[in-house]
């Protein structure tokens, strides 16, 4: 039995993680969870899975949760402290970080210090502080298991292989909601259109990131840290069916790909059960004859400017990816609230990157300060 701490239980990845736990309740137990503001959904989860600890996003949501009547008692906490308390709870074996944004960084580091296995769906953790996270993983000898379908695919393709034989990683991308539109056709697109992803069911922020291709850019930076490869050995390939989740090319020109239907529960389960594989009858089998054909195209940096920003920021390194992520989070939030246009997301990120003076090897405190400063700067652009 593996005890699971789930950070971000009411989000898309969180819900799908719960599906896996429920499907294998003889293998996994939810021992701690956190959530942001959705008290109604959280109450259902609490009553169903009965975790020992529940972290709540803020005081108001905590008061809302208290109005529910539960059949058992559990410990609670509020805010960032609650994220950390959940992540270091002694009973937990695996911490699934399904949080959205840089808020996932500190609880990940604290969980590592307590020797927890990390199942990482929060890509911003590696984007904002990859060097610190990797140092922690090595120092505390903690497994860092990828949950994103692309990184899970690469991780699976590398099982039994010598990393020295890798020629390049090929990260596939659906292209998002606007993959068939020109830049001119992106003028005036709505929030509703951006949130209509053709393949995946995800949260609002990640779906918008997919539409701008920032999500893929963040995944490139994450792949750089997870697999210790330079950026010129990480390519992005547009593949609108999302059947091939990513590929690895070796120096003998062999290519190993991981395929499957677009279902995040499969890579989530692999991270939880690794190094074993468990059956999962809830997922649909891949029938290639039903798919018929697979399409591929090169990723155009002029069309997808956020992808270019990510590569450039990753290569510069230091605090530049921190600014990239912080500016993107604030810009996407502004778009979702109707304050800026879709293409305005790119403009804001570019201005934040151009303004920043890079710190080459930042401490955790410097990263947090840079993150805060970048967000403040973006807010000045929105007033």
Dist. CA 55–CA 105, nearest whole Å:
16
- Which residues sit in the known binding site for NADPH? 10-13, 36-38, 122, 124, 203
Alpha-helical segments (H) within 50-181: 59-66, 79-87, 105-113, 124-139, 149-157
pTM score: 0.94
- H or E segment and range at residue 367: helix 364-382
**What is the mean pLDDT of each successive set of 10 residues along the chain, which is 383 residues long?**
97 95 97 96 97 97 95 96 97 95 92 98 92 96 96 98 97 88 86 77 82 95 97 97 97 98 95 96 92 94 95 98 96 95 96 98 96 97 90
Structure tokens of 320?
């530049």
The angle subtended at Cα 97 by Cα 96 and Cα 102, nearest 5°, is: 175
Closest CA to 82 of 31, 12, 33, 17: 33
Under 8 Å between Cβ of 331 and 101: no
Dist. CA 59–CA 43, nearest whole Å:
16
Dist. CA 266–CA 279, nearest whole Å:
10
At 43, phi and psi to the nearest 5?
Answer: -60, -40
Beta bridge partners of 246: 171, 258
Q: Give pLDDT, residue 233.
A: 98
Structure tokens of 213?
């291709």
Q: Give pLDDT, residue 206.
A: 85
Dist. CA 14–CA 99, nearest whole Å:
8
Dist. CA 66–CA 347, nearest whole Å:
43
Contacts of 25 (CB under 8 A, 6+ apart): none
Dist. CA 356–CA 376, nearest whole Å:
13
- H or E segment and range at residue 15: helix 12-23
The angle subtended at Cα 81 by Cα 77 and Cα 86, nearest 5°, is: 65
Beta bridge partners of 76: 54
Contacts of 157 (CB under 8 A, 6+ apart): 246, 247, 248, 256, 257, 258
Alpha-helical segments (H) within the chain: 12-23, 39-49, 59-66, 79-87, 105-113, 124-139, 149-157, 191-194, 204-212, 214-227, 265-273, 288-291, 305-316, 320-336, 344-355, 364-382
Q: Give pLDDT, residue 283.
A: 86
One-character DSSP codes across 296-321: -EE--TTT-HHHHHHHHHHHH-TTHH
- Which residues sit in the known binding site for 1-deoxy-D-xylulose 5-phosphate? 123, 149-150, 174, 197, 210, 215-216, 219
- Which residues sit in the known binding site? 10-13, 36-38, 122-124, 148-150, 174, 197, 203, 210, 215-216, 219
Q: Give pLDDT, residue 192.
A: 86
Query: Coil, strand or helix: which one is 185?
Result: helix
Dist. CA 33–CA 311, nearest whole Å:
34
Under 8 Å between Cβ of 360 and 366: no
Q: Give pLDDT, residue 200.
A: 58
Closest CA to 71 of 95, 47, 49, 37: 47
- Which residues sit in the known binding site for Mn(2+)? 148, 150, 219
């Amino acid at each position: 039995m593996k005890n699971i701490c789930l950070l971000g239980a009411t989000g898309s990845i969180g819900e799908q993680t719960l599906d896996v736990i429920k499907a294998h309740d003889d293998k996994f137990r939810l021992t701690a969870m956190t959530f942001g503001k959705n008290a109604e959904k959280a109450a259902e989860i609490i009553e169903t899975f009965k975790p020992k600890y529940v972290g709540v996003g803020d005081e108001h949501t905590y008061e809302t949760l208290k109005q529910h009547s539960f059949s058992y008692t559990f410990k609670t906490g509020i805010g960032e402290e609650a994220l950390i308390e959940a992540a270091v709870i002694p009973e937990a074996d695996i911490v699934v970080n399904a949080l959205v944004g840089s808020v996932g960084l500190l609880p990940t580091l604290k969980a590592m210090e307590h020797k927890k296995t990390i199942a990482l769906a929060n890509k911003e953790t590696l984007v904002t502080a990859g060097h610190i996270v990797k140092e922690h993983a090595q120092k505390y000898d903690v497994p860092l298991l990828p949950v994103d379908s692309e990184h899970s695919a690469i991780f699976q393709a590398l099982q039994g292989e010598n990393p020295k034989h890798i020629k390049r990683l090929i990260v596939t991308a659906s292209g998002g909601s606007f993959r068939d539109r020109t830049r001119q056709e992106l003028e005036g697109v709505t929030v509703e259109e951006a949130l209509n992803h053709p393949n995946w069911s995800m949260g609002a922020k990640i779906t918008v990131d997919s539409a701008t291709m920032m999500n893929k850019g963040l995944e490139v930076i994450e792949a750089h840290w997870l697999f210790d490869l330079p950026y010129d050995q990480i390519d992005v390939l547009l593949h609108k069916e999302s059947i091939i989740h990513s590929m690895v090319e070796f120096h003998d020109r062999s290519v190993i790909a991981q395929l499957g239907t677009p279902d995040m529960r499969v890579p989530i389960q692999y991270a939880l059960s690794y190094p074993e594989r468990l059956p999962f009858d809830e997922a649909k089998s891949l029938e290639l004859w039903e798919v018929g054909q697979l399409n591929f195209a090169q990723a155009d940096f002029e069309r997808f400017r956020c992808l270019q920003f990510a590569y450039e920021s990753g290569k510069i390194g230091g605090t530049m990816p921190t600014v990239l992520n912080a500016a993107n989070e604030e810009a996407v939030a502004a778009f979702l609230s109707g304050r800026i246009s879709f293409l305005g997301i790119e403009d804001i990120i570019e201005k934040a990157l151009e303004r920043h003076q890079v710190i080459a090897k930042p401490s955790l405190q410097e990263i947090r300060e840079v993150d805060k400063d970048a967000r403040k700067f973006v807010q000045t652009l929105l007033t």
